[in-house]
Amino acid sequence: MLVLISAIIYLGQDLVVPLSLATLIAILLIPVCQWLQKKGIPKVPAILIALLITVIFIGGVIWFLSSQVASFLQDSDQIKKGIDAHLNNFQNWVRQQFKLSPAEQQDLLQQAGNSLKDSGKSALGGTVASLKNMLVLITLLPIYTFLLLYYRSLIRQFLIDVFSNAPKKRVAEIIGESRIVVQAYMFGLIIEMIIVAVLSAVGFLLIGIKYAIFLAVFCAVFNLLPYVGMLIASILCVLITLTTSQQFSDIIWLMVVVLLVQFIDNNIIMPRIVGSKVKLNALMTIIGVVIGGLLCGIAGMFISIPAIAILKIIFDRVEGLQPWGRLLGDEENTHSKNKRLLQNKKPA
């Protein structure tokens, strides 16, 4: 069954990914729509206003990153000087360590360049396909989100009716609890992203790194990917700093700031803001992120955490599946909860 579900997700990811992302956004926007409707705004305008707020927020982040990238590319002369300086240092190191002359190094680089040209065509085709998928995602995401918000009552009733063998109260509790967990998780991610961006920006500005704000926002956005996002962002930040600075000490201080922010995020921000809402242990989280990435790429890595959280809620509520719920959950939190229950239990 698991293999069949995985195959369906992998083969149908063009439908699954935008629909899943739209579901997360729709769940996050339900309180906004409900608040607007309580103020007397009709259902459709309320949904459109909520979507507009979301588009403005996401569009603002994309616009900022795009403007910073454009500014980065304008400094092409300085970037070229930085790359040349680092290449010269690297060539000198290779010559000292491996006794290779600059001419021999140039021959090796030429051979590597020919290999890259051979693989470049397939990479270009993959890039074009990725851009096409991105355009489709951008087009479908607001449409799916609008329809999910508009038909949310119908979908909720469908889920209750389709599981007619189970008590309606239990199904309703699962739906309600899943919505609360996803809303808390998504809102927590937004708060976490803002805090990480501010901390990173302050650190980068203090050490005098160029494009400090851009790199800080870059780290915050990639940090949305659990466990691996900050690693990817760190590598890219190092590469960007290498092209804009000839001082190796800048790289050292950059990594110090990134590691410090990551430590604060993992030990303070994540447990209190995000982890307190999603009771999942690290092992199952990492496995879920890897599986999500294998099935649906970066989007699958992002979707995996709320998906596992919903599965845990279902497993905890369905008899016979509770062991799976305990496997996904945080053993320490579960042990503490059981201990409190035993302490509160009256002796017979």
Give the residue from 157, 145, 178 showing the smallest Cα distance to 47: 145
pLDDT at 292 over 80: yes
Would you state the structure tokens that stand for residue 63, as one six-digit string? 């616009």
Per-residue model confidence (pLDDT) at position 326: 87
Contact at 8 Å (CB) between 243 and 79? yes
Query: At residue 85, what is the residue type?
Result: A
Per-residue model confidence (pLDDT) at position 202: 93
Count CB neighbours of 220 within 10 A: 25
Contact at 8 Å (CB) between 196 and 219? yes
The sign of the dihedral angle between the CA atoms of 19, 24, 27, 29 is negative
pLDDT at 12 over 90: no
Mean pLDDT of the chain: 78
Would you state the structure tokens that stand for residue 197, as one six-digit string? 């961006």
pLDDT at 53 over 70: yes
Tokens 């309320």 locate to 46
* Alpha carbon distance 176, 169 (integer Å): 10
pLDDT at 315 over 70: yes
Confidence class for position 112, pLDDT limits 50, 70, 90: low
Per-residue model confidence (pLDDT) at position 123: 44
DSSP secondary structure letter of residue 348 = -
Contact at 8 Å (CB) between 164 and 38? no
Where does residue 215 fall: left (phi above 0), alpha (psi -120 to 50 degrees), or beta otherwise?
Answer: alpha
Would you state the structure tokens that stand for residue 160, as one six-digit string? 């209750």
Per-residue model confidence (pLDDT) at position 145: 93
Per-residue model confidence (pLDDT) at position 192: 86
Per-residue model confidence (pLDDT) at position 335: 47
Per-residue model confidence (pLDDT) at position 15: 84
Contact at 8 Å (CB) between 202 and 223? no
The residues near 273 (Cβ < 8 Å, ≥ 6 apart) are: 188, 191, 192, 195
